[in-house]
Amino acid sequence: MREIVLDTETTGINPADGHRIIEIGALELVNQTPTGERYHVYINPQRDIDAGAVEVHGLTAEFLADKPAFEEIADGFLEFVGTSQLIIHNAPFDMGFINSELDRLGRPTIPMDRATDTLTMARRKFPGAQANLNALCRRFEIDNSHRDLHGALVDADLLASVYIELLGGRQPDLSLEPSGLAPKESGPVRAEGAEAFTIRVDPTKFNRPHEASEAELVAHAELVDRLTDPVWRR
């Protein structure tokens, strides 16, 4: 299963007020594992940036002056995300900006059900606790010491680690295979009202598929005869 962890930085809070995207960072997960494939771009918003926004991400109009406009990067962005599910922290914010940019170009917008909101996941999992990205990094002991300011690619990278932890973390030796069945590695399991997770089966931990041989039974009997008060004969 392919998913795209995504973050944006913007000129302000509300696209309805004419605010624009100025940075997109995204990375690819396959079966909740980063593949190393990434997408990152700075964008010239062709407008001023609110002072409060600059304090958050540090991106200025001067820095972005020679960067491409959204219409120049739209095809590459859409090609990278494809039809994959988008993993976003506070998804309505980023999706609102992405769809505003697409709508400006007369492009089809991305349905909200294509986005998994990790903020909602965190609030359900830890009700009443702080659920911003820094707080979740602290909770899951994820190193975010390099995050002085918000940055789309840095935040997407941290969010990928947070998302995996919200799903239950990595448990490579988990064995839920019924006895007598051949081992296999399952894909993501989804259930109504539950988060997705991956079960990985340890092929060494399943019941033997055959009865003991006669030679094995004889050897076991001889061993038992040498024991004092064996539990098998009580």
The residues annotated with a catalytic role in the active site are 150
Q: Which residues pair with 43 in a beta bridge?
A: none
Pull the structure tokens for residue 215.
Answer: 């030679």
Eight-state DSSP code of residue 182: P
Q: At what angle do helices 118-125 and 91-104 cross, to 10 degrees?
A: 170
DSSP-H helix ranges across 82-166: 91-104, 118-125, 133-139, 152-166
HSE of 37, CA atoms in CB hemisphere, 13 A: 13
Exposed / middle / buried, residue 59 (Cβ in 10 Å: 0-12, 13-18, 19+)? buried
d(CA 216, CA 189): 40
Distance CA 31, CA 123 (A): 23
Burial 72-95 (b: 16+ CB within 10 A, else e): ebbeebeebbeebbbbbbbbebbb
Q: 8, 21 in Cβ contact below 8 A?
A: yes
Residue that has been written with the tokens 């092929």 in this structure: 203
